[in-house]
Structure 1
Amino acid sequence: MLSGTFDEFKGQVLAEGFDEVLERSWPADAVLDFHTHPFAVKARVVRGEMWLTIGEETQHLRAGDDFALDRDVPHAERYGNAGTTYWVARRS
């Protein structure tokens, strides 16, 4: 079960040096092929589920699960059939 609020998450990640925090929502069954970001990411799934693929490894993430990515790491994302929402912090 998900614990904490967006404001608590935001306070935690800003204290860790992240400089932008937002909520992202994706529609049901959305797929993002391999891509990179010019920033590091720390995120928490708050609704639905998703699959995050880095290299040959895929993580199945559900509400309450956290994940992190360093900048410029190739990865792919697939979202569940009910859509997905996560809180995400970015560090440039």
Structure 2
Amino acid sequence: MDRKAFSESLTKDGFPEAVVVKREANTEMDVHAHPFEAKALILEGEMHIRADETEQVYKVGDVFHLPANKPHAERYGPNGVTYLVGRK
């Protein structure tokens, strides 16, 4: 998905304006949860998200969607990751 189409889908789904997030290479966040729903488009690099017993890799052009309060862990690739995220 491209940035324009993603931004349009966020608006359609009632998300406020998205923000760009950057994470350093080869770092991770242990299991945590957010009090908001998050929908993001990977712009650069890659990100691994582990939720329940499943780990998914997201690369440039991929979209991930996490419901509010969903426990998950994050790991960032060798070049880090930059993503555009809407939160509500």
Give TM-score scaled by structure 1 length.
Answer: 0.87
Match of residue 26 from structure 2: 29
Q: Distance in 1 between matches of 2:15 and 2:36?
A: 10
Identity over aligned pairs, percent: 38
Q: How does 1:52-63 map to 2 (within 5 A)?
A: 52-63=49-60
Shift of 1:81: 0.9
Question: Which segments of structure 1 move beyond 3 Å, counting only runs of 4 or more?
Answer: none
Structure 2 unaligned runs (5+)?
A: none
Q: Distance in 1 between matches of 2:64 and 2:70?
A: 13
Match of residue 38 from structure 2: 41
Counterpart among 82, 85, 88 of residue 82 in structure 2: 85
Helix, strand or coil: the match of 2:43? strand
Q: Distance in 1 between matches of 2:72 and 2:7?
A: 24
Match of residue 4 from structure 1: 2
Q: Distance in 2 between matches of 1:40 and 1:23?
A: 16
Counterpart among 41, 65, 70 of residue 67 in structure 2: 70
What do residues 26-85 of structure 1 show as CA deviations (whole Å, max 9, x unaligned)? Answer: 011110000000100111111001110001100011111111010000000000011100
Provide the alpha-carbon RMSD of the alignment: 1.3
Helix, strand or coil: the match of 2:50? strand
